[in-house]
A and B are shown apart, each in its own frame.
Chain A
């Protein structure tokens, strides 16, 4: 996983609250065999509307999603996070996220930053006035700045530590590889092995 320290990019205002994971990625797309290619299915139902924010050329190339409160509710599907990342988002800003979605995001490196609701509204207005507005998310300082606007954000301290170092859960466990190897040397000889290790 790539470390996340500071990210600057343009943003999309998503003036919706309670966006559930069925909206982010409908169930019919869950039968795929890859984590990739879900970007096309992101917000599949809403994207049939030509006026939907993601369909507006002025917001193309955006990497920060500015959403209403309670983003990511409903089904625990990890595909919702994969779809947002695959589309190109590195950060979602909201005043409140659903727990499971926030956990899934942290596991795979999508930053979910919590900012006050009035800041979200100010940001929506500013982005709509100027879609090229550069938004900077600084994970070290835990701040979001865009032109004259600025706000601190909240993020889980474990997740912050991991993202700054670019470690996913697997990355952290791999940092304990010595302990795992030591454990393996103590394992009983009678335990089953299916084939010789590929080494």
Chain B
């Protein structure tokens, strides 16, 4: 019987296999950031251990750094201590660090692919659940805990039990104006936040093959919001074109050798997945979450669900609780809900293509009165690229704030936060209670919907804008 893509990558990385024991898997790339690494380095130091492969380890600062006044000392003493610890640890253990102020600093999941470090068929780990992003290249990439970070630092391997495989087939083509973000939000709404539990997802089908590399990263990024360990997309010419010429991509003869191998990284025709889901892309429309988990989403044109329409008392109670927290009335049309803040950025939608579509929509328009629009590039290089294209001038002219690179308002670990009761349209990945700040109310959207919403002041798609 044939193998799935995930099984091929897994099998290529087994260092040791023994009956009744987890497989020992080799890790090709270990990404590090300031929040989940200090205790792991501490553990190494205690045990007198070294980092086995500093050359396969890369660190940057992203979670708790500010996105304004980045030349000033960090105001938060905890953030400052974590960043300082990362600097000292990387120096002591010989790990390459791209710190604040470096041209290669940024959100770890934006920086890795941008440098060409993420390549097809690799195993990639990081102490962050959105490591699933790198699966867009056909890599097996997943988040790990602090003890596992230490394990990888010391051994460059992890003992792991095999995952199950789930195929999500997206047939047909996405309609005009419907994006990768709408697609993944619709997938999560369909299979639920636990639908991917125990699985590695492989996204397949025409609509996936049609996507750019950056859009594929948006899809794989949110696999974890469906409960999956990882999400993958088979590498193809789109992948190879993106990689060719990047700093850490193979060169010359090695490039041809690599591409030859990468072309074998597809699920065999006779391979069997443990589960399959099929979705018709042509039926999708712009999607928005209304509740307090990424599975609570509806098409932008719909109204907020009514708890009384649900027979199951548990489902009813969950919706009531979410509506109470979100300060929403059942039956309200999404297009009638006003927002206070719009956030464009994060490892989900903080890349250059995201900023380009936002600029296209904002060009010649103004952010609505009373609405704050925060645009945060995912990396320093994304920021520079946007400025070279003049996108920042459009943002500033529209009344948006143009920030420096970082995780920013995705996770309330740095100064960019919602205030209690404030409502946001956000291109990030989680709408949990308090995720963007205590009492904050988050609605997950695509960059297109974010930009149109910023202009109108209520949830909207670009089609709702009158032409300028």
Binding site for B on A (CB under 8 A): 1, 31-36, 78, 82, 104, 107-108, 168-170, 173-174, 176-177, 179-180, 183-184, 187-198
Contacts and interface: CB of A to CB of B under 8 A. Distances in A.
A173 B151 contact: yes
A174 B145 CA distance: 19
Interface string B42-69: 1100110111111111100000000000
Interface stretch (B78-86, B190-198, B212-220, B282-290): B78-86
Contacts of A36: 42
Interface string B87-111: 0000001101000000000000000
B39 interface: yes
For the residues of A in contact with B, the DSSP-based class is loop
B254 A190 contact: yes
Contacts, number: 109
Contacts of A34: 38-39, 42
A198 B151 CA distance: 18
A33 B15 contact: no
B117 A192 contact: yes
B16 A176 contact: yes
A184 B154 CA distance: 15
Contact of A174 (B58, B93, B155): B155
Interface of B: 15-16, 24, 26, 28-29, 38-39, 42-43, 46-47, 49-58, 78, 81-82, 85, 93-94, 96, 116-117, 119, 122, 145-147, 150-151, 154-157, 159, 248-250, 254-255, 257-258, 261
A33 B85 contact: yes
B144 to A, nearest CB: 13
14 contacts: A33-B81, A34-B42, A78-B39, A78-B145, A170-B47, A170-B49, A170-B150, A173-B155, A174-B154, A176-B15, A179-B16, A184-B156, A190-B258, A193-B55
B94 A198 contact: yes
B273 to A, nearest CB: 27
A170 B52 CA distance: 12
Contact of A173 (B42, B117, B147, B157): B157
Contact of A170 (B42, B58, B155): B155
A33 B28 CA distance: 26
